[in-house]
């Protein structure tokens, strides 16, 4: 049996690294078209314009939007109005208002909208959530430090307004945080912005929960050598540590193997479930923390960034 036909839009790094191979291996989806101004995919029909694909291919019921967040809203609106189910790469939009509007539009057109958070599908995130349930959290510390030159080579959009800067990876940590602990809100933010770009290269956040704990987060895009994607959670029953972006976990000093990392397999499995049930899955909580950091953050000028 063939899977649901899907078109991938925005053939860039994440489309090639994850979406295309995962769809290729999936029995639930079948790649039917690619839409990109420059990127091309062998074996399927390629379009340079989304509207044309939507008009000419009524046989494709679903699209995966893998373009940068600042251009995704118009693409999502066109797709939803054409009656297509939509999978959004993270972050789901450049603003919270956009994401709300899309969720409402999807409801009006009876299509499923899936705002994905790939890090939530890392193998130790659900086990961490389960271990933390019922425990009293005392403090959370997030350290998310990576080398922008290694992970985003040549990507100009990440530095422009709506590009998120260091919050592009940082929101992955926030997507895990908001999945495993009670709600938190931003109390303080420092945004370190290189003199020649619009978006921060580093940020330090403080957050608080009404459940009685604080969170400190340190995001930095200037880390060479070993990369750090860690979350440490102190509880009344000891410490839980998620490392390597949620693919490894240690509980009270005991390491646990999360098994194979399969974030995007999990994403497409969930999308298939949503199509079956006719539901949408849109959680803006990580984006809200980023928006509030920009809203309340103190900006500090730092050295200009050059590739």
Region from 66-74, 79-87, 141-149, 183-191 binding ligand NAP, contact rule CB under 6 A: 66-74
| Smallest distance, ligand NAP to C-beta of residue 173, A | 13
H or E segment at 204? strand 202-209
Taking a C-beta distance cutoff of 8 angstroms, is the pair 158, 164 a contact? Answer: yes
Least distance CB 18 / ligand NAP (angstroms): 7
Given the complex with ligand NAP, which of 240 and 287 has the nearer CB atom? 287
Is 81 tagged catalytic?
no
307 binds ligand NAP (CB under 6 A): no
Does 71 help bind ligand NAP (rule: CB under 6 A)? yes
Q: Which stretch binds ligand NAP (CB under 6 A): 10-18, 136-144, 185-193, 284-292?
A: 10-18
| Structure token digits, residue 260 | 């194979």
Q: Is 228 helix (H, G, I), strand (E, B) or coil?
A: strand
How many Cβ atoms from other residues are within 10 Å of residue 38's Cβ? 7
Question: What is residue 239's three-state secondary structure?
Answer: strand
Task: Please pick, from the candidates 6, 7, 8, 10, the single residue that binds ligand NAP as defined by CB under 6 A.
Answer: 10
Instruction: Say whether 19 sits in a helix, a strand or coil.
Output: helix
Return the sign of the alpha-carbon dihedral for residues 172, 176, 178, 179: positive
Helix (H) or strand (E) holding 30: strand 29-35
- As measured in angstroms, the least distance from the Cβ of 69 to ligand NAP is 5
Residue number, nearest CB to ligand NAP: 12
Q: Which residue has the tokens 């800067």?
A: 165
Q: Which residues are catalytic?
A: 90
Rule CB under 6 A: which residues touch ligand NAP?
A: 10-15, 36-39, 66-69, 71, 89-90, 118, 151, 155, 157, 168
């Amino acid at each position: 049996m063939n899977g649901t036909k899907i078109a991938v839009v925005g053939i860039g790094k994440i489309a090639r690294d994850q979406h295309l191979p995962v769809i290729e291996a999936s029995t639930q989806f079948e790649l039917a078209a690619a839409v990109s101004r420059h990127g091309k995919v062998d074996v399927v029909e390629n379009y340079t314009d989304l509207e044309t694909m939507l008009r000419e291919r009524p046989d494709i019921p679903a699209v995966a939007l893998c373009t940068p967040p600042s251009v995704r809203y118009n693409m999502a609106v066109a797709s939803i109005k054409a009656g297509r189910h939509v999978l959004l790469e993270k972050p789901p939009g450049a603003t919270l208002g956009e994401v709300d509007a899309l969720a409402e539009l999807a409801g009006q057109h009876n299509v499923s909208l899936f705002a994905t958070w790939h890090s939530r599908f890392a193998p130790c995130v659900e086990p961490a959530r389960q271990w933390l349930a019922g425990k009293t959290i005392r403090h959370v510390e997030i350290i998310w430090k990576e080398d922008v030159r290694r992970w985003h080579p040549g990507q100009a959009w990440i530095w422009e307004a709506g590009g998120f800067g260091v919050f592009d990876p940082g929101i992955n940590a926030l997507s895990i945080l908001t999945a495993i602990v009670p709600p938190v809100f931003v109390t303080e933010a420092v945004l370190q912005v290189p003199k020649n770009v619009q978006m921060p290269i580093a940020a330090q956040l403080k957050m608080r929960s009404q459940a009685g704990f604080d969170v400190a987060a340190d995001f930095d895009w200037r880390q060479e050598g070993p990369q750090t994607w860690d979350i440490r959670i102190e509880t009344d029953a000891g410490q839980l540590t998620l490392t390597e972006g949620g693919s490894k976990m240690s509980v009270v000093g005991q390491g646990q193997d999360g098994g194979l990392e399969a974030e995007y397999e999990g994403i497409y499995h969930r999308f298939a479930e949503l199509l079956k049930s006719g539901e949408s899955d849109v959680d803006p909580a990580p984006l809200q923390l980023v928006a509030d950091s920009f809203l309340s953050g103190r900006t500090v000028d730092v050295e200009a960034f050059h590739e």
